A and B are shown apart, each in its own frame.
Chain A
Amino acid sequence: MHIAPAFSCLEILDAVYYGLMARDDTNALQDIFVMSKGHGCMAQYAILEDLGILTPGDLEEYCTPDGMLGGHPDFGVPGIAASTGSLGHGLSISLGMAYAEKIAGTNRRVFAVIGDGEMQEGSIWEAIMLTPNLDVRNLVCFLDLNDFQGLGRTSELHPHFYPVAQKLEAFGWQTAEVNGHDTEAIHECVRAHSNTGPLFVVARTVKGKGVDFMENVPIWHYRSPNPEEYRYAMDNLSEVTE
């Protein structure tokens, strides 16, 4: 399971679900969220449970044969807009959704979260190049810039990936840079750029945020805690949230 990748984007998802996504008269979500870095889906599952879209039982049955939640999100599960997990797919799908809403004349927006390692996929750049050319303005893409990928720090493995925002600007996107753990700042930067163009938010984050022994330690990309580590992590998280 991928705990640290879920912790790095938790506040981004929190900001999207509780502050940015439009709701209809019945309070149901109208906008669309696509978790392109599908391995961070535990963050999404927790929020969907809090919203009542998934049940506590669904979470209990995570990755078990009786349950419906897997290690990557599956289209068809309540609240999941797209099957992701293989990196580099979610932005093209999000673009298709945003385009469909655009030509249907709705106000729906699509929010996507991609990872910094994921941005090395060529398909991400195909979608980046195409989006402004189709004048799609109802798409907001968050980059969860936690500076880690499978084999180390992104800034060391791919130093010319930086600076990121300027590259997106050159391709015709609106861009913003924000502390990815500051919910209010995320709200403000998205609201400031609403519907003037596709928006790319470079969200600086910490992998494993909230559990001190996981923060910025590569093994926690996928490692599961043993019982002792789990107890410590839960205590650590409750201190953070208090």
Chain B
Amino acid sequence: MRNRFAETVYRLGQEDPRICVIVADISPAGSIEKFRTEFPDRFINTGVAEQVMIGMAAGMAQRGLRPFAYTIATFALYRPFEMVRNDLAYQSLPVTVVGIGGGVVYSTLGGTHHAQEDIAVASAIPGMTVISPCDPLEVEYATEYCATQSQGPVYLRLGKAGEPVLTEDAVEPFEVGKARYIRRGRDICIMSYGMTMKQAMDVGGELEKQGHSVSILCVHTLKPLDTAKIAEALGDHDHVVIIEETSPHGGLGGLVKQVAFDEKADCEIHAFSLKDEFIHVYGSHQALLAAHGLSTDAILEKIHARIGKD
């Protein structure tokens, strides 16, 4: 994701002199070096100083530029939270706050580096758009949107490097603000976004093997949420499974249940998220997800307990 983001910003920056990258001593490798070399005026490293990174991005946007403010998700959003809220959102400025390593991606670095409540924190800000792409293709689409939109700030939650492409055969196109089916089935709908889309696909594959017809709905835009599409999915399936790498408070699971209540949906909902805990586990990303109960096996086991195993 990181590399595709950098490549896309470089490509767009060649055509649009308004595009700037402002980082706080953390840089996406690869293509961003080309951007830095070719457009040195439009690449700023504030040093280890996130508050001025966001404040400066606001001032640059007020003068017509389109900054991408980039660092590790916790530092991009939590450290300068009030700058994100006041300088960007309150002033409706088109600045993209790019958080690398959303969720527990920095799995060996401990809780200080885990952005496990970033979706809730960013979504709580009025006027903030929250996008969490699931693969490099979605990163490219989302970055293009961020570079050209004029609505206000976006929190763009990225994973790391090396994620597989999951959506090249998606049955519906990517559009910010619209959930889309990657695959369309009849019985069970798995909703996910971001890095846990891989879990969603794996769980879906296992359930299909067991004879279920499974839809995969990618909810890459958490805010504004495509409630119409979610309501439709709740109506069209007997079971809805939500898998997300974020806190149980303020994530997609709770939002889907709100829609279900409002729509008087007649389906069962199974929501999986990170635990509401700081977990002192170090290892692979998959090991951290497993510690939070988000391994494919653990998810399948709980689903089987609810819907039976054929």
Q: How many residues of chain A have a CB within 8 Å of chain B?
A: 29
In the bound assembly, the distance between CA atoms of A92 and B91 in angstroms comes to 14
Tell me how far the C-beta of B45 lies from the nearest C-beta in chain A, rounded to whole angstroms. 9
Stretch from B62-70, B116-124, B210-218 forming part of the interface with A: B62-70
With most chain B CB atoms within 10 A of its CB, the pick from A81, A100, A130 is A100
Contact indicator B62/A96 (Cβ below 8 Å): yes
Contact indicator B86/A100 (Cβ below 8 Å): no
- Residues in A113-158 with C-beta less than 8 Å from chain B: 122-123, 126-127, 129-130, 133-134
Chain A residues within an 8 Å CB radius of B41: 103
- List B residues at the A interface (Cβ < 8 Å): 41-42, 44, 46-47, 49, 51-52, 54-65, 67, 80, 82-83, 86-87, 90-91
Answer yes or no: A48 CB below 8 A from chain B CBs: no
Contact indicator A82/B59 (Cβ below 8 Å): yes
Chain B residues within an 8 Å CB radius of A101: 63
In the bound assembly, the distance between CA atoms of A8 and B91 in angstroms comes to 27
Contact indicator B83/A100 (Cβ below 8 Å): no
Contact indicator A89/B86 (Cβ below 8 Å): yes
| With A95-B59, A96-B59: A86-B86 Cβ-Cβ less than 8 Å | yes
In the bound assembly, the distance between CA atoms of A82 and B61 in angstroms comes to 11
Contact indicator A104/B52 (Cβ below 8 Å): no
- List A residues at the B interface (Cβ < 8 Å): 75-76, 81-83, 86, 88-89, 91-101, 103-104, 122-123, 126-127, 129-130, 133-134
Contact indicator A93/B49 (Cβ below 8 Å): no
In the bound assembly, the distance between CA atoms of A221 and B248 in angstroms comes to 44
In the bound assembly, the distance between CA atoms of A98 and B52 in angstroms comes to 13
In the bound assembly, the distance between CA atoms of A103 and B63 in angstroms comes to 11
| Complex A-B: 10 CB contacts under 8 Å | A75-B91, A76-B91, A82-B87, A89-B55, A92-B54, A96-B61, A100-B62, A100-B65, A123-B55, A126-B46
| With A86-B86, A89-B83, A103-B42: A126-B51 Cβ-Cβ less than 8 Å | yes
Contact indicator A127/B64 (Cβ below 8 Å): no
| With A93-B56, A97-B62, A100-B64: A129-B86 Cβ-Cβ less than 8 Å | no
Contact indicator A99/B59 (Cβ below 8 Å): yes
Contact indicator B44/A92 (Cβ below 8 Å): no
Q: A92-B83, A95-B59, A129-B49 are in contact. List 15 more A-B contacts (CB 8 A).
A: A83-B87, A86-B82, A88-B51, A89-B82, A89-B86, A92-B54, A92-B87, A93-B58, A96-B58, A97-B59, A99-B59, A100-B60, A103-B41, A122-B51, A126-B51
Chain A residue nearest to B59 (CB atoms) is A96
Chain A residues within an 8 Å CB radius of B55: 89, 91-93, 95-96, 123, 127
Of B59, B80, B82, B87, which is within 8 A of A100 by CB? Answer: B59
Of A99, A104, A122, which is within 8 A of B44 by CB? Answer: A99
